[in-house]
Amino acid sequence: MNIFTDHPHKVGESYSEHLVMAGGFGWTMFWGGLACMVHAILPFLFEKTGSDIIRKLHMRMVTKRADLIKADKDYELEWVI
Query: How far is the C-alpha of 60 from the C-alpha of 67, rounded, in Å?
Result: 11
What's the whole-number mean pLDDT along residues 53-70?
82
According to the model, what pLDDT value does residue 44 have?
98
List of E strands, 11-58: none
The pTM (predicted TM-score) of the whole model is 0.72
Contact 49, 36 (CB under 8 A): yes
Contact 29, 57 (CB under 8 A): yes
User: Chain-wide mean pLDDT for the chain?
Assistant: 87
1-28, pLDDT tens digit by residue? Answer: 899 999 898 888 899 999 999 999 999 9
For the CA atoms of 21, 25, 31, 36, the dihedral, rounded to the nearest 10 degrees, stands at 170
